[in-house]
Amino acid sequence: MNGDSDGTRVPGLAEAFEPERLDGHTIEELGEYLDAGRSPHDASIEDSPGCRIALDALRRLRERSWEMLAAQAGRDAGREQGWIAAVLANISREARAGRDVPLGSGLPDTRLEVTEGAIRGLVRAAGDSAGGGLVGRVRLVGDVTVPGAPVRVEVAASAAWPEPLHPLAQRMRARILDQLARHSELNVTAVDVTIEDIHAGDEAEPGASR
Amino acid sequence: MSADLGLSRDLTALVASVAGVVEIFSDGPSLHAAAASAAARLAGADAAGARVAVTRHSRTLAVHASIGVDSALPVPTTVRRVAGAIRDFLSAARPGTQAQVRVTVGYIRHPGTAGPASPPPRPGPPAR
């Protein structure tokens, strides 16, 4: 692990040389930390907003994907492992702070903002909460740093067979729009949900994890 | 302990007491934060509990709080409360001081999300 106990670590610098790391930690390290019940307390992880976003996404991925993929893993394990690896890479990439998304303050000399990484985490959590599918990738398209600028949200997701795809996409879109309206001031012009994978778990029921 | 370190501790306790705030992150993405931390150590000061960055630029005080919030409350509401609390505190504790306040939300906690195994103790709000 790459601690910052000496107080001299500069987040962002390590990623420039080790792009697979999130504030000095690989997604595998974060998975092991989650496995250990987040104990003993690791300040270099818990004090990183990006790592916290990734831990939440990892926890949901494990809870939902194991249910969703268990029946299929034996039949097509290679494909599923590839899908999970791609989602893990996206979680790590999207959890980075990214751009600053402004909030109106109404006060002089006061700047309020939410990081793009936190917004992407919000979108991922909202999509996952729809049940019957999992978010694989999130993109915010548009200049999120300019108040009122049009922003399109692109979400790629996976569905659990035999989940009806159109209602699943509609549920994801509705939850994402609701959460963005509640927690941001983005001018969201569209939420495009694309179901890119279907996982054929024999025991899955439509909306079973809802 | 420097005056700014003490102010940082007071502001950290204040921000932690605002409803909806679940975490205060060290002001990591800043070379200045690392330099300030190193300076505090050199001065023999304990930087524990001083997570809100306080820096001076000429006669202006710059305050930056990097926080995690709970999604049970609208994020803009929580952030504005934090900024308002900081402004009110500075007006009372440092009257006449020109201040620039910045609040950044880096993490939004969702329902059912477990916290750290052993979260650091949260100090109570400072006495003004």
Give the model confidence (pLDDT) of B25-49 as tens digits: 987 544 444 444 555 555 444 567 8
Sign (positive or negative) of CA dihedral B123, B76, A64, A196: negative
B109–chain A Cβ distance below 8 A for any pair: yes
Q: What are the backbone dihedrals phi and psi of residue A107, each rounded to the nearest 5 degrees, phi first?
A: -120, 145
Whether residue A187 is predicted with pLDDT greater than 90 in this model: the reply is yes
ipTM, two decimals, is: 0.84
Q: What are the backbone dihedrals phi and psi of residue A83, each rounded to the nearest 5 degrees, phi first?
A: -65, -45
Question: What is the average pLDDT across B15-30?
Answer: 86
Neighboring chain B residues of A131 at a CB cutoff of 8 Å: none
Is the CB of residue A130 less than 8 Å from the CB of residue A109?
Answer: no
The nearest CA of chain B is from the CA of A133 a distance in Å of 18
Report the pLDDT value the prediction gives residue B37, as an integer from 0 to 100.
Answer: 52
C-alpha to C-alpha distance for A87 and A94, rounded to whole angstroms: 10
Measured CA angle at A81 (ends A206, B109), to 5 deg: 65
What tokens does A144 get? 């999120």
The nearest CA of chain B is from the CA of A66 a distance in Å of 18
Mutate to test the interface with A, among B21, B75, B122 (most CBs of A within 10 A): B75
C-alpha to C-alpha distance for A177 and A54, rounded to whole angstroms: 21
pLDDT tens column, B62-96 = 999 999 999 999 999 999 999 999 999 999 999 98
C-alpha to C-alpha distance for B88 and B95, rounded to whole angstroms: 10
B34–chain A Cβ distance below 8 A for any pair: yes
- Percent of chain B predicted with pLDDT > 70: 69
Question: What is the average pLDDT across A116-122?
Answer: 98
Mutate to test the interface with B, among A59, A103, A122, A124 (most CBs of B within 10 A): A103
Report the pLDDT value the prediction gives residue B48, as an integer from 0 to 100.
Answer: 72
Is the CB of residue B108 less than 8 Å from the CB of residue A97?
Answer: no
Nearest chain A residue (CA) to B51: A47
Element (H, E) at B4: helix B3-16
Q: What are the backbone dihedrals phi and psi of residue B96, each rounded to the nearest 5 degrees, phi first?
A: 85, -5
How far apart, in Å, are the Cα atoms of A6 and each of B35, B57, B123? 11, 26, 23
Neighboring chain A residues of B66 at a CB cutoff of 8 Å: 49
CB-CB: which of A46, A104, A125 is closest to B116?
Answer: A46
Of A150, A161, A189, A149, the C-alpha closest to A173 is A189
Nearest chain B residue (CA) to A126: B110
C-alpha to C-alpha distance for B100 and A107, rounded to whole angstroms: 10
C-alpha to C-alpha distance for A113 and A103, rounded to whole angstroms: 5
Neighboring chain B residues of A113 at a CB cutoff of 8 Å: 102-105
Nearest chain A residue (CA) to B78: A183
Residue B121 or A52, more confident: A52
Residues 6+ apart with CB under 8 A from A126: A172, A175, A176, A178, A179, A180
